Amino acid sequence: MTARAFNFHGIGQPGPEIPEDERPYWISATALETFLDIFASYRDRQKIVITFDDGNRSDLEIAAPLLMKHRLDARFFVLTGRLDHPAYLNRRSVQNLRGMGFTIGAHGINHVDWARQDVSGLNRELLRSRTVLEEILGEPVTEAAIPFGSYRRRVLRCLRSNGYTTAWSSDGSATTLSGFLRPRLSIRNDTRPDTITRLLDMGDGIRCRWRQKLSIARKSLF
């Protein structure tokens, strides 16, 4: 089944500790609600996947209540190196999100570019982050979101050998709900709601689809 996956980051006003390159991905609670209204009213909710990266504190404080209000499911990909920092989730809040029925996945430890890591650095990022989350949750963690959507064949291979069954990228195109590598569209503070409704109604144009497929093939090969 073809689906559309949308990726969010922090919600609300980013604090001073949020890195510069992550700030364009923060949107207001009102903007999130506008997107959630679109998703909730879409005729086929099964074809929509909602994810949040980085493990910002706003996941629990803002996003989760709005998701519950709209009866929408979501996946939260947590950076274990930022756990317990005041601006981010702590161990208890990760358990709370899971208790609300959301899926928890890994996003590595330190938000580094996995495509630039050597194999031992990459294995450390993938294995340790998963182990920490599994200890917190007391259950297997099998999904990962790739930081910055940056990967190559080696990254995908290491993800598989470290026990992951699903890797979420940021390639923008439509996804299947059965493949190992699943593209998402990253929502930024300049993403317009009508872009989303257009995507949901029409799917990708054929040219755009081929361009995205080519880009994914290139990254998966090397």
Q: How far is the CB of 111 from Zn ion (least distance, A)?
A: 6
String marking each residue 140-179 x if it binds Zn ion according to CB under 5 A: -------x--------------------------------
Q: Does 53 bind Zn ion (CB under 5 A)?
A: yes
Q: Cα Rg for the chain, rounded, in angstroms?
A: 16
Q: Which position's Cβ is nearest Zn ion?
A: 53
The DSSP symbol for 184 reads -
CB atoms within 10 A of CB 111: 18
Q: Does 59 bind Zn ion (CB under 5 A)?
A: no
Q: Does 54 bind Zn ion (CB under 5 A)?
A: yes
- What is the DSSP track for 5-53? EEEE--BSSPPTTS-GGGGGG-B-HHHHHHHHHHHHHSS-GGGEEEEEE
Binding piece for Zn ion, criterion CB under 5 A, among 45-53, 61-69, 81-89, 185-193: 45-53
What gap in Å lies between CA 214 and CA 145, rounded to an integer? 20
Pick between residue 70 and residue 143 the one whose CB is nearest to Zn ion: 143
Pick between residue 57 and residue 70 the one whose CB is nearest to Zn ion: 57
Total residues contacting Zn ion by CB under 5 A comes to: 3
Pick between residue 54 and residue 59 the one whose CB is nearest to Zn ion: 54
Q: How far is the CB of 207 from Zn ion (least distance, A)?
A: 29
What gap in Å lies between CA 104 and CA 26, rounded to an integer? 20
Rounded alpha-carbon distances, angstroms, from residue 7 to 119, 163, 166: 27, 23, 15
* Interacting residue ranges for Zn ion, rule: CB under 5 A: 53-54, 147
